[in-house]
Structure 1
Amino acid sequence: MNRDPRLPWSTRSHNLAHFLTRNAARLSDRPAIIWQDLTITWAELDRRVSALAAAFVQDYGLQPGDRVMVQSANNNQITEVMLACWRAGVVWVPSNFRQRPDEVAYLAQKADVSLMVCEAAFPDHASACVEAAPKLSEVICIGEGFGTPYDAVIGKHLGTHMPNAAVDRDAPCWLFFTSGSTGRPKAVVLTHGQLTFTALNHLHDLVPGTTPEDMSLVVAPLSHGAGMHQLMMIAGGVCSVLVPPGRFDVAAAWELVERHKVTNIFTVPTIVKMLTEHPSVDEYNHSSLRYVIYAGAPMYREDQKHALRKLGKVLVQYFGLGEVTGCITVLPPHDHHIEDGPEARVGSCGIERTGLHVSIQDDQGRECAPGETGEICVAGPAVAAGYYMDDAANEKSFRDGWFRTGDLGHMDAERYLYITGRSSDMYISGGSNVYPREIEEIMLTHPALSEVAILGAPHPRWGEVGLAVCTCEPGQSVTAEELAAMLEPKLAKYKLPHRYVFLDEMPKTGYGKITKKLVREELEARGLWPEPEAVS
């Protein structure tokens, strides 16, 4: 913990599990989690969390700072494990349940986990983690099939009172693994003090006016951004409604919105697109919705307009990374407009979040002028403590107290932020920088196109040229020649894609995001990625 050595005391923090303690006291009989036919009240959730926390300490001998991994699809147990970890003073390490066993085993080894809670559907993941992590010898199984049954662990200690552990402001509570879009995932160290600030900031900036009367629909994996959103809901005393397990069912989601009068949803742009383009959006009553929050990637303008027409002015965009717990900028509902024009601020991801400072910097760390493109950097209490056991990543990502996001963009005179793209997405063609998002936005105005990704591909003369990967709307088609004709009058020649590839489905991460890394891997697997000598 970094503190002034002249001060003889540490900074005592609010333990995140105290949000649950408070809710159990004043909202005891109100629902905390609704999942299929199961409804768990705040009082019941508090009892179950205490039982699990007691087991962590008494049966498994966990000490403050030890790490507990979770491998599971969304369910009530994920939330229980998260809160039990915090109550016991240990660190929650959730994995993306869609990852392969070897990928999750790497996370277990990297985090040096002492205990694992694993859904019965993932026996190979459990075995791989036990083999990879030296401290890990026991697994708690959600269901039956291996390890100690989760319900038996809870049942043994049900009724045990377990106080929230005393924690410092900088005490780690969550190892948040990045998506690994440019390499192996890194473990971001999130702390009790940091997440307390972030939860309250989310309530203030994303869903102002939220009360325990609200209801939240969970459609994204709780292991990452949706977990942070759920923590915000717990802080506000709001019930979380989980969609059914398995492949995402759009109609089922809208039915839950109508049945429970859901007021907010957190998701990613690709899911907003699915929700608003599916016929069921017109079959169920969604007038209760006040906030549909999307993050993880910018939403293309045409998709944004369509969502606004279907849902009204309920869209909230935020920009943020795991390293800043999603807390960099916000574009609230009143800044979302269907009509283009100056007030629409097309392409902006909003203004700085309350208590955060955004700076656009050049390669030397100098502040860029309004309108000038540079790297988006951020400082403030939402910034993580750093990467776990990764000095090289910390050295690269932090400079003079600023966290370097790796995203490129600029701010206007009113400090609205515009993201140009990832620094790793930018390519150089004939000595000129090309930012794929500009081209992608124009291409998506074509009615036949559903998704587009522009990559810089090798070229013997120009160094790199644009390769456009496209998917079409169902029942529609378009040719490369038609797209080229549309783009030629709108873009400088060096920005025009040299080649077009059409896929039936765009590869996405487990969180529904399109990353250039996955798209390139798909092209390579199909033999469609050009070698320099093969491109003319």
Structure 2
Amino acid sequence: MSFKDLLAAGADGAIAIAAPGRAPLDYAALRTLVDRTLASLNALGVGRNDRVAIVLANGPEMATCYLACAAGTTSAPLNPGYRADEFEFYLSDLNAKVLIVEQASTSPAIEVARKLGVRIVDLVADAGAAAGDFRLVAREGGAPRTATLGGYAEPGDVGMVLHTSGTTSRPKIVPLSVANLCASAAHIRGTLQFTATDIGLNIMPLFHIHGLIAGVLAPVSAGSQVFCTPGFNALKFFAWMDEAKPSWYTAVPTMHQAIVQRAKGNADVIARNPLRFLRSSSSSMPPQVIRELEAIFNAPLIESYGMTEATHQMASNPLPPLSRKPGSVGLAAGPEVAIMGENGTLLAAGEIGEIVIRGPNVTAGYENNPQANEEGFLAGWFRTGDQGSQDADGYLSLTGRLKEIINRGGEKVSPREVDEILMDHPAVAQTVCFGMPHPKLGEEVAAVVVLKEGAVATEREIQEFVAKRVADYKVPKKILFMDEIPKGATGKLQRIGLAAKLGLH
């Protein structure tokens, strides 16, 4: 399947892209926009498999620009919040041919692009234009030339490149083919049973695999509507809900938890706009919060499991009437999923090992990184680096990230297990458990805790609460009380490297 086929799903007059306070863009206009954008890029000498860096704020133009670039070039969305040094690394590493920015942008990426000789292209959204409609204008002159390979990309072409977020190692380039992108969109579409009547409220950042694939590509592949916000804002979420009238939304757990805190005052909005389901991905969701969300929205929360190398989704809890298992990330939802032992053998149900995957949505390998490919693939399977098990029904449970597992003098502690116990404490609103360095044990257990509004608790009280539920070695020896959980740029909890970030040496 190509992007041309994927974009053909929506009826001409059906709304493809909407946004707060803007006229919507229908599918006929979206297809015209993609054709026009590819013609503009081809005229600049940019075509299939050429890298196009995109540095745009969240919103409808980011969504449509991504779709257009992925359709006939190699899209490379970058976090607009990066600093100059980061842009220099990514633009150089990607070997980007052009950089697309908003016309009035003052992003540090612009000076970096000039320094590196990367051509700058302005995205111009005219006043009064429909949500997501734009034109491209080269910022500096230059002789127009024809792209070597113009038009729509083929399935084997690279449609997108993203970097994995490493904490200790250099970020790795993950090339995702058009076939990978289309397969993943189809998997998510099938899992969530998207139809043309669905409306998704997108609050996820669109420089990250979760928002790009689950938030935009999968619903577009079903001919449904995507309502693009400027990014997550708990204060505006319910107003957007009233405007968009969504049937679903997807988010990371920290966003869901912020929504829970504001839901009581917005019961009327929720009643007016019944959701078919909610979805959570990118990090594990405490079962307590799942129960709370399902009660508030009177809709199932579908927890799923994804990663960049799998073009997002690998496993997902199914929609009713099939059972959802809190604490599990569900059934294989696209690729084959298995559990592998240390010697490369596949393990039986109930046994704990490394989660491995293979299938049409899995990257063929990291770019220019033979060592990472040698470590990342074994016997045709991609090694996720996550530890888990499958039960007799095939439901997958994560016991932790292999690197996140805390090794306390040989005793292994799953931080997720400690998280779930801490979340049961009546004063705890949010928490993240992680390993901190220890001179004798190697690592010791630590946790950041955010208390509920008006609640009071001491480190000792919380430690005693945990000690009643687990062995002493699993009790956090250090608890930091903070106003919010430290998160990465995508809103994801990052256990690895958190101790150093918080100065716990």
The TM-score with structure 2 as length reference comes to 0.89
Q: C-alpha displacement at 1:216, in angstroms?
A: 1.0
Residue matched to 2:142: none
Provide closer, same or farther for how the CA distance between residues 430 and 35 of structure 1 changes in structure 2, counting only shifts above 3 A.
same
Q: C-alpha displacement at 1:47, in angstroms?
A: 2.1
Residue matched to 1:396: 375
Which of structure 1's runs of 4+ aligned residues deviate more than 6 A? Answer: none
Which one of the candidate residues 16, 27, 38 is aligned to 2:3? 16
Matches within 5 A, 1:29-48: 29-38=13-22, 39-48=24-33
Deviations 1:42-67 (A, max 9, x none): 22222222222111111x11132111
1:502 aligns with 2:481: yes
Residue matched to 2:207: 223
Residue matched to 1:160: none
Residue matched to 1:476: 455
1:273 aligns with 2:260: no
User: How many angstroms apart in 1 are the aligned matches of 2:274 and 2:477?
Assistant: 47
Q: C-alpha displacement at 1:166, in angstroms?
A: 5.4
- Of residues 78-87 and 493-502 in structure 1, the stretch that sits farther from structure 2 once superposed is 78-87
**Conservation of the 8 A alpha-carbon contact between 1:68 and 1:113:** yes
1:352 aligns with 2:339: no
Q: What letter matches 1:471 in structure 2?
A: V
User: How many angstroms apart in 2 are the aligned matches of 1:428 and 1:385?
Assistant: 32
Q: What letter matches 1:472 in structure 2?
A: L
User: How many angstroms apart in 2 are the aligned matches of 1:461 and 1:315?
Assistant: 43
Residue matched to 1:115: 98
Q: C-alpha displacement at 1:18, in angstroms?
A: 3.1
Residue matched to 2:345: 366
Residue matched to 2:88: 105
Q: C-alpha displacement at 1:430, in angstroms?
A: 2.5
Q: What letter matches 2:502 in structure 1?
A: L
Matches within 5 A, 1:199-210: 199-205=185-191, 207-208=192-193, 210=194
Provide closer, same or farther for how the CA distance between residues 102 and 318 of structure 1 changes in structure 2, counting only shifts above 3 A.
same
1:94 aligns with 2:80: no
Q: What letter matches 1:72 in structure 2?
A: L
Provide closer, same or farther for how the CA distance between residues 168 and 249 of structure 1 changes in structure 2, counting only shifts above 3 A.
closer
Residue matched to 1:458: 437
Residue matched to 2:141: none
**Conservation of the 8 A alpha-carbon contact between 1:276 and 1:306:** yes
Deviations 1:179-214 (A, max 9, x none): 334543322111111222211111111x21x22222
Q: C-alpha displacement at 1:281, in angstroms?
A: 3.6
Q: C-alpha displacement at 1:479, in angstroms?
A: 0.6
Q: C-alpha displacement at 1:359, in angstroms?
A: 1.3
Matches within 5 A, 1:32-431: 32-38=16-22, 39-58=24-43, 60-87=44-71, 89-119=72-102, 120-132=104-116, 136-142=118-124, 151=135, 153=137, 165=151, 167-205=153-191, 207-208=192-193, 210-224=194-208, 225-229=210-214, 230-243=216-229, 245=230, 248-278=232-262, 279-286=264-271, 287-334=273-320, 345-354=325-334, 356-431=335-410
- Of residues 491-500 and 459-468 in structure 1, the stretch that sits farther from structure 2 once superposed is 459-468
Q: What letter matches 2:77 in structure 1?
A: P
Q: What letter matches 1:78 in structure 2?
A: M
Give secondary structure in 2 for the equivalent of 1:370: coil
Q: What letter matches 1:46 in structure 2?
A: R
Residue matched to 2:145: none
Give secondary structure in 2 for the equivalent of 1:175: strand
Structure 2 unaligned regions, length at least 5: 127-133, 139-148
Deviations 1:336-390 (A, max 9, x none): 9xxxxxx774411111114x21111122212223222211111111111221222
Q: C-alpha displacement at 1:255, in angstroms?
A: 2.6
Q: What letter matches 1:98 in structure 2?
A: G
Q: What letter matches 2:348 in structure 1?
A: A
**Conservation of the 8 A alpha-carbon contact between 1:117 and 1:142:** no
Q: C-alpha displacement at 1:21, in angstroms?
A: 4.0
Deviations 1:293-352 (A, max 9, x none): 11001101111111111012321111010111222111124389xxxxxx7744111111
Q: What letter matches 1:485 in structure 2?
A: E
**Conservation of the 8 A alpha-carbon contact between 1:506 and 1:519:** no
Deviations 1:448-471 (A, max 9, x none): 112222222222332322112212
Residue matched to 2:129: none
Give secondary structure in 1 for the equivalent of 2:91: helix
Give secondary structure in 1 for the equivalent of 2:220: helix
Q: What letter matches 1:102 in structure 2?
A: D
Say which structure, 1 or 2, has more relative contact order (CA 8 Å, 6+ apart): 2
**Conservation of the 8 A alpha-carbon contact between 2:47 and 2:150:** no
Q: What letter matches 1:399 in structure 2?
A: L
Residue matched to 1:489: 468
User: How many angstroms apart in 1 are the aligned matches of 2:299 and 2:33?
Assistant: 39
User: How many angstroms apart in 2 are the aligned matches of 1:47 and 1:213?
Assistant: 22
**Conservation of the 8 A alpha-carbon contact between 2:339 and 2:352:** yes
Q: C-alpha displacement at 1:130, in angstroms?
A: 3.4
**Conservation of the 8 A alpha-carbon contact between 2:101 and 2:120:** no
User: How many angstroms apart in 1 are the aligned matches of 2:320 and 2:168?
Assistant: 35
Provide closer, same or farther for how the CA distance between residues 487 and 30 of structure 1 changes in structure 2, counting only shifts above 3 A.
same
User: How many angstroms apart in 2 are the aligned matches of 1:198 and 1:152?
Assistant: 28
Taking only aligned residues, the RMSD between alpha carbons, in angstroms, comes to 2.4
Q: What letter matches 2:41 in structure 1?
A: F
**Conservation of the 8 A alpha-carbon contact between 1:256 and 1:262:** no
User: How many angstroms apart in 1 are the aligned matches of 2:165 and 2:285?
Assistant: 19
Deviations 1:388-411 (A, max 9, x none): 222222121111111110111111
Which one of the candidate residues 413, 419, 442 is aligned to 1:440? 419
**Conservation of the 8 A alpha-carbon contact between 1:28 and 1:43:** yes
Provide closer, same or farther for how the CA distance between residues 114 and 164 of structure 1 changes in structure 2, counting only shifts above 3 A.
closer
Structure 1 unaligned regions, length at least 5: 1-13, 145-149, 155-162, 337-342, 531-536
**Conservation of the 8 A alpha-carbon contact between 1:455 and 1:467:** yes
Give secondary structure in 1 for the equivalent of 2:477: strand
Q: C-alpha displacement at 1:223, in angstroms?
A: 1.9
Give secondary structure in 2 for the equivalent of 1:61: coil
Provide closer, same or farther for how the CA distance between residues 82 and 346 of structure 1 changes in structure 2, counting only shifts above 3 A.
closer
Q: What letter matches 1:222 in structure 2?
A: L
Provide closer, same or farther for how the CA distance between residues 37 and 399 of structure 1 changes in structure 2, counting only shifts above 3 A.
same
User: How many angstroms apart in 2 are the aligned matches of 1:126 and 1:454?
Assistant: 39
Q: What letter matches 2:330 in structure 1?
A: G
User: How many angstroms apart in 2 are the aligned matches of 1:183 and 1:282?
Assistant: 46
Q: C-alpha displacement at 1:494, in angstroms?
A: 1.7
User: How many angstroms apart in 1 are the aligned matches of 2:239 and 2:269?
Assistant: 6
The TM-score with structure 1 as length reference comes to 0.84
**Conservation of the 8 A alpha-carbon contact between 2:3 and 2:153:** no
Q: C-alpha displacement at 1:513, in angstroms?
A: 1.1
Deviations 1:137-162 (A, max 9, x none): 33325579xxxxx64639xxxxxxxx
User: How many angstroms apart in 1 are the aligned matches of 2:81 and 2:317?
Assistant: 30
User: How many angstroms apart in 1 are the aligned matches of 2:270 and 2:449?
Assistant: 33
